[in-house]
Amino acid sequence: MRIIADENMPFAAEAFSNLGEVNLAPGRLMNAELLRTVDCLAVRSVTRVDSSLLSGSAVKFVGTATIGTDHVDTEYLGREGIKFASAPGCNAISVAEYVIAALFELAGRKGFTLAGKVLGIVGVGNVGSRLESRARALGLEVVLNDPPLADQTGDSKYRPLDELLERSDIVTVHVPLEKAGKYPTYHLVNQSLLASLGPGAVLLNTSRGAVADSFALLAAIGSGKLGAVVLDVWEGEPEIPLDLLRKVDLATPHIAGYSFDGKARGTRMIYEAACRHFGVEPVWTPEGLLPAPENPLIELTGRMDDAQDLLAKAVLESYDIAADDRNLRGIFDLPKDARAKHFDRLRRSYPVRREFASRTVRLGPGLKSLAPVLAGLDFTVETA
């Protein structure tokens, strides 16, 4: 059996080697000729999987090590009898931790207190549900909106979008990109939605670039109504709108879900799906293979009066989101024809980022009451 996998998928060669011959290739350069005699294809979101890629190939299984599947023509795969698997939830913790880091970074820059703020979560699937628990641990009030889940469950905890927008100090979007159907999300963040936000509201989008209308967002920022904007995803990636990049408070190159833990989970999920499809017993696991974080132990000392600053230290020493922002803004120093490559290069060569669970926070005297908060963020906690 021949397998082609994205060269930036962690452990792809090790995982798939018990299924056959593994070759690695750049995701954006995969083409029909490369896949002509391939049986199994493992991709990331940068590869468009459709008839132009697979027509005439021998591919019997396609796996994407991502939550989103809008880069895959699943209807085509179904018609052709090609088995498809994705990795729902693989990087959900990573995205939730990204949002938490972004909020602490913004709070430090702008001088606001997180506890007591109202966080509106639009989309309460794998990411949104994990973010909810972490936000509540931090003392934020949470308002949830998810029309599909509201219809499925009838649960009144899912509130109408207009209510969420009216009540929320912070709105974060975690929906799939859907252009049709009962719940379209294409340009969900549009002029109307932005006008419904309260003055000084903070907006974050880590879902898909086209969930937000770039022109409407740029106009809203220019009006001075928004308190802050955080974007990890962009319309037209990897050619992103520089006028919007200049205006947002935190900007990153579609890496919210790029924790090494999440990437390894994604590889494992599609590897195991391929094994099931081809009738092979899965034997590979990433356990024990993940590198240790640079700072596995974080020590906090001080007073409870400084609780937010102490929590920020634990979070931002675990993930320095400001560094990702600085790196993306290096795009302004480049000629036009090098900018898209810079965006892709930042993603392709992204440094190892471990999730909070890989770290221990040691609390000094008088800080024991921070333990449940830190545990709610997934840290291991030691108290004096």
Pair 315, 103: CB distance under 8 Å: no
pLDDT of 384: 77
Distance CA(76)–CA(70), nearest Å, equals 13
- Domain membership of residue 291 (yes or no) is no
Residues 223 and 101 in one domain: yes
| Catalytic residue chosen out of the listed positions 130, 208, 268, 342 | 208
* DSSP annotation of 125: S
223 and 146 fall within a common domain: yes
Contact 211, 188 (CB under 8 A): yes
Name the pTM for this structure.
Answer: 0.90
Residues 372, 334, single domain; the answer is: yes
Residue 114 lies in a domain: yes
Task: Choose the final residue of a domain: 214, 234, 251.
Answer: 251
Residue 323 CB partners (closer than 8 Å, separation 6+):
none
CB atoms closer than 10 angstroms to residue 335 = 6
Contact status, residue 5 vs residue 274, Cβ threshold 8 Å? no
Helix (H, G, I), strand (E, B) or coil at 10: coil
Give the whole-angstrom CA distance, residue 211 versus residue 174: 9
CA neighbor of 326 nearest in space, from 344, 305, 346, 306? 346
Please check whether residues 153 and 224 belong to one and the same domain: yes
For 217-374, where are the E strands, in sequence order? Answer: 228-231, 250-251, 297-300, 360-363
**Residue 87 pLDDT:** 97
CATH code assigned at 345: 3.30.1370.170
User: Which runs of E-coded beta strand occur in the chain?
Assistant: 2-6, 21-25, 40-43, 61-64, 83-85, 118-122, 141-145, 170-173, 202-205, 228-231, 250-251, 297-300, 360-363, 380-383
State pLDDT tens for residues 178-197.
999 999 999 999 999 999 99
**Which residues sit opposite 142 in a β-bridge?**
119
pLDDT of the chain, 384 residues: tens digit per residue: 999 999 999 999 999 999 999 999 999 999 999 999 999 999 998 999 999 999 999 999 999 999 889 899 999 999 999 999 999 999 999 999 999 999 999 999 999 999 999 999 999 999 999 999 999 999 999 999 999 999 999 999 999 999 999 999 999 999 999 999 999 999 999 999 999 999 999 999 999 999 999 999 999 999 999 999 999 999 999 999 999 999 999 999 999 999 999 999 999 999 999 999 999 999 999 988 999 999 999 999 999 999 999 999 999 999 999 999 999 999 999 999 999 999 999 999 999 999 999 999 999 999 999 999 999 999 999 997
285 falls within a domain: no
- H-type alpha helices, 67-226: 74-80, 92-110, 126-137, 147-153, 161-167, 191-196, 214-223
Is 361 part of a structural domain of the chain? yes
Domain-located, residue 290 = no
Residue 78 phi, psi dihedral angles, 5° rounding: -60, -45
Q: Note the pLDDT of residue 67.
A: 84
Whether 277 sits among the annotated catalytic residues: the reply is no
Q: Are residues 111 and 224 in the same domain?
A: yes
Q: Residue 21 belongs to what domain range?
A: 2-86+259-278
Say yes or no: 334 and 228 in one domain.
no
Considering the domain architecture, whether residues 191 and 324 belong to the same structural domain is answered as: no
Among the options 237, 265, 268, 272, which is catalytic? Answer: 237
Question: Would residue 288 count as lying in a domain?
Answer: no
Backbone torsions φ then ψ of 186, nearest 5 degrees: -60, 125
- Read off the DSSP letter of residue 19: T
| Exposure on the CB side of residue 340, measured as CA atoms within 13 A | 8
Give the domain-ending residue among 243, 278, 313.
278
Q: Residue 116 domain-assigned?
A: yes
By C-alpha distance, which of 359, 361, 364 is closest to 373?
361
Enter the tokens of residue 244: 């919007």
- Whether residue 110 sits in one domain with residue 11: no
In a domain? residue 284: no
Gap between the Cα atoms of 192 and 216, Å rounded: 9
CA 241-247-253 angle, to 5 degrees, is: 50
Please indicate, yes or no, whether residues 270 and 304 belong to a single structural domain of this protein. Answer: no
Q: Could you tell me the CA-to-CA distances from 26 to 6, 45, 81, 238, 369 in Å, in that order?
A: 6, 12, 26, 15, 48
Active-site option among 134, 254, 353, 359: 254
State whether 126 and 216 are in the same domain: yes
Q: In this structure, are residues 243 and 230 in contact, taking their beta carbons and an 8 Å threshold? A: no
Which domain CATH number covers 143?
A: 3.40.50.720
Same-domain check for residues 111 and 65: no
Q: Does 40 share its domain with 110? A: no
Q: How many domains does the chain have?
A: 3
